[in-house]
Structure 1
Amino acid sequence: MAASIEPNAIDLIVTSNQSTAHGALLQGEILLTTRAYSAWGGAVTAQMYLPLTPVEVWQQLTDYPRWTQYFPDVTHSQVLHSGINASNSAMKRQVKRLYQSASKAFLVFTAQVEIYLKVLETQQQRVQFYLESGSFSDFCADLSLEACGNGTILTYSVQATPTIPVPGILIEQAIRLDLPTNLRQMRRVMCG
């Protein structure tokens, strides 16, 4: 006979896991989840806690030329255009066009990449990045901010497929190794 679990017991297990994850974030851990995306691409979501208000995080996060300090592989980051998207009268969004280049060592070779992105900013809440052109066959990323006590939880989700044929499992492994280090660097720079 199979044992049954009371619905409230399941809620307690989920709440306990969420509580553990929340505690880990507040202790400085970077939480990382990867998922299958494509044969040649990777997808990951990472979260970190910053002991700064969402306003303070937003001011630094949207300073795109400063991203070379946050992500060591990014060699250049420049805003090419900035404007307002007023198509939705309830919420105006800042729209930018961004150029970034990076250099990444993979095993025995170094990949040079460049990317042009359309960036949609929802004030102090979310930044969405969409591929216009570059060294990826597809790329999109989403950064969101959530107030948490006296600080902010930053959630960064990205999925990408480079134009160079690298198996998706290698892309995921590279992201899994690099992203936590990059986010810790971002936190060090932002928190001074």
Structure 2
Amino acid sequence: MTASYISNISDSMIKGMNMPWNQDKQLSVMGGEVLVQTESHTAWGGSVTACMYLPLVRSRVWQQLIDYPRWVQYFPDITKSEVISQGEAKRLYQAAQKNFLFLTAQVEIYLNVVELLGKQIQFRMEKGSFLDFTAMLDLKDYGNGTLLTYQVKATPNIPIPAIFIQQAMNLELPANMRKMRQVLCKVQ
């Protein structure tokens, strides 16, 4: 990749990330790094935006991402992911299990899903084990592949200080995103 190509990529490529999108960041993303930024969302919640490069064309990434039952392969904590209704806006049910020290937390969520063909998937909580939950996957052509940006805003229904939620998101999301890339890029 040439320096002139890299310098033409703007901050707008990383929608929602308030970090400079300089040449070092671009090279690290192309080299496999997952960029992560966490922020407070509510007194008990967190917001995280992660960005990674996939060496796949956007249409191939899209087809795999909208196969929602397959999300159990992308995120190890998700134990069930199923489409419960189709239509202009899909409805999705997901269940997850997370171990914290000596506790095991089980959550479930019903999501309204809006797909902007080949570009974006928006998730909004209808009901579930959170006070609030929204997420968005954004896909853009990038070099010879795809730049995937994933933003999640959530507040659990149990009072955990936001700093702990943000730290957990900052540690776990990069590993989950790397797992997602591994599954998406696996030769089938």
Q: 25, 28, 33: which is aligned to 1:24?
A: 28
Q: Quote the residue 1:143 is aligned against.
A: 137
Cα distance in 1, alignment partners of residues 113 and 65 from structure 2:
12
Matched, 1:129 2:133: no
Q: Quote the residue 1:118 is aligned against.
A: 112
Root-mean-square deviation (Å): 1.6
Cα distance in 1, alignment partners of residues 21 and 91 from structure 2:
39
Q: 181, 185, 188: which is aligned to 1:191?
A: 185
Percent identity (aligned): 54
Which protein is richer in strand relative to its size? 1
Measure how far apart 1:171 and its partner are.
Answer: 0.8
The one-letter code of the counterpart of 2:35 is: L
In structure 2, list runs of 5 or more residues that go unmatched. Answer: 1-9, 12-19
- The number of aligned residues is 170
**TM-score of the superposed pair, with normalisation by structure 1:** 0.85
1:7-156 residue pairs with structure 2 within 5 A?
A: 17-84=21-88, 95-156=89-150
Q: Secondary structure at the match of 2:109?
A: strand
Q: Quote the residue 1:90 is aligned against.
A: none
Cα distance in 2, alignment partners of residues 178 and 17 from structure 1:
22
Cα distance in 2, alignment partners of residues 182 and 17 from structure 1:
22
Q: Secondary structure at the match of 1:52?
A: coil
Q: Quote the residue 2:166 is aligned against.
A: 172
Measure how far apart 1:38 and its partner are.
Answer: 1.3
Q: Secondary structure at the match of 1:72?
A: coil
Q: Secondary structure at the match of 2:87?
A: strand
The one-letter code of the counterpart of 1:123 is: L
**TM-score of the superposed pair, with normalisation by structure 2:** 0.87
Q: What is the CA deviation profile of residues 7-44 of structure 1, one whole-angstrom value per residue up to 9, with x for unaligned ones?
A: xxxxxxx9885221111110000000111111110101
Q: Secondary structure at the match of 2:41?
A: strand
Q: What is the CA deviation profile of residues 31-88 of structure 1, one whole-angstrom value per residue up to 9, with x for unaligned ones?
A: 001111111101010000000000000000111000000000000000001112xxxx
Q: Which has the larger radius of gyration?
A: 1
In structure 1, list runs of 5 or more residues that go unmatched. Answer: 1-13, 85-94
